[in-house]
């Protein structure tokens, strides 16, 4: 199915049912890995809010949730400059931290967030991302332990991800259709 957002055309890449099944499996793994611990899930706004909301419903162990907000995108492209808009709202010292990202692309934003959290001296840091673009990564991160889907280096929207502020509300994830395919 094709949709149009702000004069850009998108095709379905991942349907909501696929996403839900994968999140259920990630939740099971997190429950096992953090059994007898109380992790803090740090959602990276704005993109992760839907993923984190669905993920936390699969978590049976005691846990806490907080958010940070950073920005680096302008439309489809990263500006390369990361701006902290909302910082940490709680101490993470000696805590088990799970950073929840919607997408890890180049890794620049993740590096920034990891540095912010490392400064808090947590007991452990793990990253859980719904989408990972391995071919776009500029750095390998040993902290990335939970990945929903590896995707090609394409621009995507939906399920929390946006294009010019639009499309976050879409249940499925869509990929931008290159002009050559229109």
CA of 31: how far to CAs of 10, 132, 146, 175, in Å?
35, 22, 12, 31
Rg (CA), the chain: 16
Catalytic residue positions, numbered = 105
């Amino acid at each position: 199915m094709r949709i149009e957002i702000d004069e850009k055309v998108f095709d379905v890449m991942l349907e909501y049912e696929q996403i839900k099944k994968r999140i259920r499996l990630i939740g099971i793994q997190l429950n096992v890995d953090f059994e007898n611990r109380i992790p803090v899930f740090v959602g990276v706004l704005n993109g992760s809010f839907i993923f984190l909301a669905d993920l936390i419903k699969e978590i049976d162990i005691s846990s806490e949730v907080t958010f940070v907000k950073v920005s680096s995108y302008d439309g489809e492209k990263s500006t390369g400059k990361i701006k902290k808009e909302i910082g940490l709202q709680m101490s993470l010292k000696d805590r088990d931290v799970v950073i929840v990202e919607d997408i890890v692309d180049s890794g620049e934003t993740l590096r920034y967030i990891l540095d912010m959290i490392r400064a808090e001296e947590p007991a452990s840091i793990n990253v859980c991302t719904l989408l990972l673009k391995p071919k776009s990564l500029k750095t390998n991160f040993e902290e990335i332990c939970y990945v929903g889907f590896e995707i090609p280096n394409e621009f995507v929207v939906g399920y929390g991800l946006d294009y010019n502020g639009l499309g976050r509300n879409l249940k499925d994830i869509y990929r931008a259709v290159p002009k050559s395919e229109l």
